[in-house]
Amino acid sequence: MFINGRWITTQNTFAVTNPATGEVIGQMAEGDRSHAVDAIEAAATALPDWSASTAYQRAAILLKAHQLMIASKQSLAELMTREQGKPLKAALNEVQYAADFLLWFAEESKRVYGETIPSARADQRFIVRYQPVGVVAAITPWNYPISMLTRKLAPALAAGCTVVLKPAEATPLCAKAVFEILEQAGLPAGVANLITVSDPTDIGHEFCTNPKVKKITFTGSTAVGRKIAQQAAAQVKRVSMELGGHAPFIVFDDADPVHAAKGASLVKFLNTGQACISPNRIFVQRKILEPFIHTLVARVNAMNAGNGLDPANSIGPLVNEAAVAKVERQVNDAVDKGAALHCGGQRLNQGDLSNGHFYAPTVLSSVDEDMLIYREETFGPVAAIIPFDTYDEVIERANDTNYGLAAYVYTQNLSTAMRAFEALNFGIIGINDINPTSAAAPFGGMNESGLGREGAREGLQEYLETKLGGFSIA
C-alpha cells in the first residue's frame, strides 16, 4: 500500500491470480480499517498545501505522470493482460486511454475560471470562485484497472483535492503500478494514497463514515452503489457514481446490415463483454435481420478465446467463476425459453483453457422479454438479438430498463438519428459510432446507471465546490 508517500507492507497478504491460467502472479498487502484511517488522515494533512498550489504546479506533475505512463505503455499493458485477462492489444489501448486523462486534466486544471455577476445594488459586487471539495475517497473496478484510476485521480488532483483510492481486489497490481508512476512524477506525500484489501467492506464503511472524507467516487455495480449512497447520505457527502448498464444497440433497416454487424461484434465482445457500455440488447429491424445475423455469426465464429498475451486471441477470460456461471445461467434460460443459439453457448474448459474462466463467444436470436438476458446486464461474451418492426416500438423497448448508461443507433437517416438521440434515456449515445468516449467528452449515465459525469470539464467540476462572495463597497 502507499500511505503518506511511503510504501507499506503487512504481515498478511492476499494472492493475485491470472484469470486465464489460475496462476498466482503476485501478493498484495492486506489492509484493514486502521490503514484506511491513516490514509485519510494523510490526505487531510496534505490537503491545505496541495489545494493552495497553483494549477500550473499541479498540471506539471500530471503531465510528468502522463509522460511516464506512455514510456511504460508496453509493460503496463502486459501486466494488465496477466492480471485482468484482456488481450494485449486492448490493454495497450487502455493504457493510452488512461494516459489521455492525465494529459487532458493537466491542461483543464488551468481553466477553472471564476466569474463576476452583476448586482441590482450599485454598492454590491458578486464574485464566484471554485475550490476543491477536499479529501476524496475513490473506489475503482477490475474491468478497466488503469484507465478507471486515472479517470478519477486526474480530475481530483487537478482540482486540488487529495485522494485515498481502493482498487478492485482482483486487480491491485495495476493500481500499484499507477501509484509508482505518480510517485516518480513527484506527487507530494499524502496527496494520493493507495489501500489494498481482499474484502472491501470495512474500508468502504470507513470512507462513508469518516467526516474528513468529503466526496466518494465509485465505479461498480448498481447494487453496491446504492449501499454507498445510503451510507454517505448520513453525512451529506458528495457522491459521483458510474454504475451498471443495459445498453440497447438499435439497427434500423436503412442501415447497412453488414457494417452494423461488424460494429456490433467489435463493441459487444470488447473486453469479453465486460464493459459497462457493452450492448446487452441488440434490436434489429426485421427487414435486415437475416443478413445482420449472418455477418455477426461469421465474425463471432472467427474469434479465438485464450490467454490475452497470444496475439491470435481476441476473447479473454471472464473475471471469475461467478461471472462464468452468470453467463451460463442467462444463455441456458434463453435457450430453454425459445431463443435460437447460433454459435457458442458453452464453457471453454479444455486443454490450455482448463484452469481459466472462459465462455465461448455466443450469438442468440429470437430473444424476448421473458428471458433473463433481456432484463439483466450480462457482462459477458453473449450477443442477444431481438427483432423489431417500428421506430416507436424499438424506442419504447430500448427505454424499458432502470439503467441508462449507453445506447447505440445505426441509421443513414438524419431525422431518425436525431429523433433517437433525443428520445433515448441514456447518458451516452453512439450514432453509427461504437466508441463514443474520450477524455475530452463527458461520460456517465442516467437513472440507476449513476450520478455525475467523468471526463471533460464536467469531470473536473465534480471535484469543485462553488463559493460566492458578495462584496459591499459602500
* Segment 244-291, tens digit of pLDDT: 999 999 999 999 999 999 999 999 999 999 999 999 999 999 999 999
In the predicted structure, residue 297 carries a pLDDT above the cut 90: yes
Question: Mean pLDDT across the stretch 231-246?
Answer: 96
* Segment 125-161, tens digit of pLDDT: 999 999 999 999 999 999 999 999 999 999 999 999 9
User: Strand, coil or helix: what is 19?
Assistant: coil
Give the model's pLDDT for residue 315.
Answer: 97
CA distance 131 to 161: 9
Question: Is 180 a known active-site residue?
Answer: no
Give the model's pLDDT for residue 474.
Answer: 83
* Segment 78-135, tens digit of pLDDT: 999 999 999 999 999 999 999 999 999 999 999 999 999 999 999 999 999 999 999 9
Q: Which three cell numbers stand for residue 307?
A: 490467454
Q: What is the mean pLDDT of the chain?
A: 97
Asked if 149 and 98 touch (Cβ cutoff 8 Å), the reply is: yes
Q: Which of 41, 108, 242, 448 is catalytic?
A: 242
Give the model's pLDDT for residue 413.
Answer: 98
CA distance 329 to 75: 36
**C-alpha distances in Å from residue 305, one per residue of 85, 247, 320, 342:** 11, 24, 15, 17
Q: Which of 161, 174, 208, 276 is catalytic?
A: 276
371 alpha-carbon distance from chain centroid: 26
Residue 307: partners with Cβ closer than 8 Å, 6 or more residues away:
20, 21, 313, 316, 352, 356
- Could you name the CATH architecture of 247-431? 3-Layer(aba) Sandwich (3.40)
CA distance 139 to 168: 7
* Segment 428-441, tens digit of pLDDT: 999 999 999 999 99
CA distance 355 to 24: 12
Question: Is 276 a known active-site residue?
Answer: yes
Question: Mean pLDDT across the stretch 7-11?
Answer: 96
Domain boundaries, the chain: 2-243+447-472, 247-431
Question: Mean pLDDT across the stretch 198-217?
Answer: 97
Could you tell me the pTM of the whole model? 0.96
Give the model's pLDDT for residue 284.
Answer: 98
* Segment 346-365, tens digit of pLDDT: 999 999 999 999 999 999 99
**C-alpha distances in Å from residue 358, one per residue of 14, 265, 354:** 23, 18, 9
Q: What is the DSSP letter of 188?
A: P
Give the model's pLDDT for residue 441.
Answer: 97
Residue 336: partners with Cβ closer than 8 Å, 6 or more residues away:
none
CATH assignment of 2-243+447-472, among 3.40.605.10, 3.40.50.880, 3.40.50.620, 3.10.580.10 = 3.40.605.10
Task: Answer left, alpha or beta for residue 186, where phi above 0 means left and psi between -120 and 50 means alpha.
Answer: left
In the predicted structure, residue 316 carries a pLDDT above the cut 90: yes
In the predicted structure, residue 427 carries a pLDDT above the cut 90: yes
In the predicted structure, residue 30 carries a pLDDT above the cut 90: yes
- Burial readout 70-93 (b: 16 or more C-beta within 10 A, e: otherwise): bebbeebbbbbbbbbbbbbebbbb
Confidence class of residue 233 from pLDDT cuts 50, 70 and 90?
very high
